[in-house]
Amino acid sequence: MLSKNQARLFFLGGTVLFFLIFLFLSANTLSSGIPEKTHSENITEEVTNGKQLFDENNCMGCHTILGEGAYYAPELTKVIDRRGEGFVKAVLTSKTPWTLSGRKMVAYGFSDKEANDLIAFFKWIGKMDLNGFPPKPDLKKE
């Protein structure tokens, strides 16, 4: 029968082993995986500014991006492909809450430059290789 010492060894040994594997995979992901998949060479100053605005205003508190965030407002990964730049810019610069689709969005009233930065951020996000996400709706009637 398993003794307490063996149980402790299983816990400590297993934890250390799997943590080391995790660290090794993480190093690979960070050094080559993510930079290649996300085309990190395309992160311009505008993209960085856009990401900062995205964070500062907690856009993820309603929307999802890369499938992460809250589930109250549309997924933004492919928003430029889906809606086009003009539409997105109109939403971002609106001085009154955007309500076209039924739910209210906070009226951020971004400046022209801020809106362009956010659009640059969305465009960069939209070109990532996300292993097939978002999926194509396979039951859609053409």
Structure tokens that stand for 79 in this block: 């928003």
Nearer to other proteins, 10 or 113 (CB): 10
Distances (CA, A) of 60 to 3, 37, 75, 116: 48, 22, 10, 19
125, 65 contact by CB (below 8 A): yes
Beta carbon nearer to other proteins, 84 or 97:
97
Angle at 43 between CA 41 and CA 49, to 5 degrees: 165
What minimum distance in Å lies between the beta carbon of 85 and other proteins?
A: 19
Token pair of 53, please?
Answer: 């605005």
Binding site for other proteins (CB under 8 A): 2-4, 7-8, 10-11, 14-15, 18-19, 21-22, 25-26, 28-30, 33-35, 37-38, 40, 43, 47-48, 51, 54-62, 64-75, 97, 101-104, 106, 121, 125, 128-135, 137-140
Report the nearest approach of other proteins to the CB of residue 67 (Å). 3
Q: Of 17 and 112, which CB lies nearer to other proteins in the complex structure?
A: 17
Nearest CB to other proteins, comparing residues 58 and 111: 58
- Determine the Cα–Cα distance for residues 49 and 122; give it in Å rounded to an integer: 12
- Closest distance of CB 64 from other proteins, Å: 4
What token pair was written down for 136? 């194509």
